[in-house]
Every structure is written in C-alpha cells, then in structure tokens.
C-alpha cells in the first residue's frame, strides 16, 4: 500500500488530500465529505482503509479550504462541492497511478448530494455511488432521476429524519439501487460495530460494481 499526500488546485484554491494506492487496484473511490468534515474524517478513513484492503485505491480530499469551511453558505453549496468533486475526478483521470481505473464515489452528509450530482452529470464515467448518512435529497430530483450509476444508500436506524429523506431520494432514483438501514445506529454511526457494517456494505457494493464493469 502506497500513500501519497496530494494537493489539487481548483480555480485558484489548493485542496489537500490523501491518495491511497494498493498494488493492482481494481478501481478508485473518491470521497465527498460532509459539512464540517474533510480528508482527516476518522469515519471516512475507516471506510477507506477497508476499501484499500479489498484492493481499491482511495482519494480523501478536502473539497473546501479552511477559510471556506468557516462560511455557512459555502459549506452547503452543493453545486460548488460538485464542481470541486468533478475537478478531483479529472485529476485522478490524469494521475499516472490512477489513470484508467474505474471511478466510484463515496459521499457523506452533503457530500452525498455532490456525489449524486456528479454521477448525473458524468453518466457512464461513474461506476458506482455509496452514500453514508447522506442527504441525497439535496442533489435535487432532476439529478437523482438522471443517475445511471448503481447507488447504495446507507442510513442509521435511529436517524429518523435522514431515513425519511433517503427514502424520498431512493424513490426518485431510476438506476440499480439499494437502501440499507443499520439497526441501532445514529447519524454518525458511532455505536459499536456500526461503522464496520458501513465499511463492509460499501466494500461489497464497489467490489461488485467494479468487477461487473471490468
């Protein structure tokens, strides 16, 4: 496993990230973090570690710089987050060690909306999407209806409001889709074993989709 600290410049803003590269990766998963989170998120890093162990490359990237993170409106600007995510996808496509790899998207909270918007924009370029405790509803119904990539929505069984929003979004998706509710888990999946279950579900979903499109 090779780990690279990377810096991606987008519209004059430098975004820091960590690229994990296992030997002979089957695909690469780009993480879209939620509000107030970034490449150092312990939850997303745990999921990334599981994906790496299964043979997938990962890119955990700050979609906002520290100054932008302080702005409430910027943190919820899904269009901006989607544009930044798209630039990161372009960067991966041009990276020597990631070029040619199938691309999956893993989104949490508002990052899930950005991931689904990007999947709607890019069509067949996105192999799969996974949302953890996400707000897919913020992607907007037209984007949800346009998503072609197989999509897995994961929510905590005690995260009642977010469950309802995910069910609404699930109904708008016309792609191969699955909704998984983890019993006893709250929004951040802090309960014993909850995040491990998230990682296992995500690993299985991306493995199946990458293998099916190989």
pLDDT at 36 over 70: no
Asked whether the beta carbons of 60 and 17 are under 8 A apart, the reply is yes
pLDDT, mean of residues 194-213? 94
Digit-coded pLDDT (tens) for 118-133: 999 999 999 999 999 9
Largest CA distance in the chain: 43
Question: What SS3 state is found at 48?
Answer: helix
Domains of the chain: 2-212 (3.40.50.1820)
**% residues pLDDT > 70 (the chain):** 98
pLDDT of 135-162, one tens digit each?
A: 999 999 999 999 999 999 999 999 999 9
User: In this structure, what DSSP letter does residue 40 have?
Assistant: T
**CA 52 to the chain's CA centroid:** 15
pLDDT in tens, 50-77: 999 999 999 999 888 878 888 878 888 9
Q: CA angle at residue 134 from 94 to 66, to 5 degrees?
A: 60
Residue 168 has pLDDT above 90, yes or no: yes
Assess contact for 179 and 30: CB atoms under 8 A: no
Q: How far apart are CA 5 and CA 54, in angstroms?
A: 21
User: pLDDT digit string (tens) for 72-116?
Assistant: 788 889 999 999 999 999 999 999 999 999 999 999 999 999 999
Across the chain, mean pLDDT equals: 93
Average of pLDDT values for 181-206? 96
The pLDDT of residue 32 is above 90: yes
């Amino acid at each position: 496993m090779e780990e690279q600290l990377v810096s991606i410049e987008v519209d004059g803003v430098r975004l820091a990230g960590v690229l994990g590269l296992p030997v002979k990766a089957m695909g690469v998963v780009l993480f879209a973090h939620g509000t107030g989170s970034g490449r150092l998120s312990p939850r997303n890093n745990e999921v990334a570690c599981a994906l790496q162990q299964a043979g997938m490359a990962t890119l955990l990237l700050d979609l906002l710089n520290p100054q932008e993170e302080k702005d409430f409106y910027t943190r919820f600007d899904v269009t901006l987050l989607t544009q930044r995510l798209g630039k990161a996808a372009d960067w991966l496509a041009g990276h020597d060690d990631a070029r040619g790899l199938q691309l999956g998207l893993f989104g949490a909270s508002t990052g899930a909306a950005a991931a689904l918007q990007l999947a709607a924009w890019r069509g067949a370029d996105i192999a799969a999407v996974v949302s953890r405790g996400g707000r897919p509803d913020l992607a907007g119904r037209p984007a949800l209806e346009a998503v072609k990539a197989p999509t897995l929505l994961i929510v905590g069984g005690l995260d009642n409001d977010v469950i309802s929003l995910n069910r609404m979004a699930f109904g708008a998706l016309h792609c191969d889709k699955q909704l998984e509710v983890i019993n006893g888990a709250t929004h951040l999946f802090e309960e014993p074993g909850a995040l491990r279950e998230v990682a296992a579900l995500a690993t299985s979903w991306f493995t199946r989709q990458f293998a099916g499109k190989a």
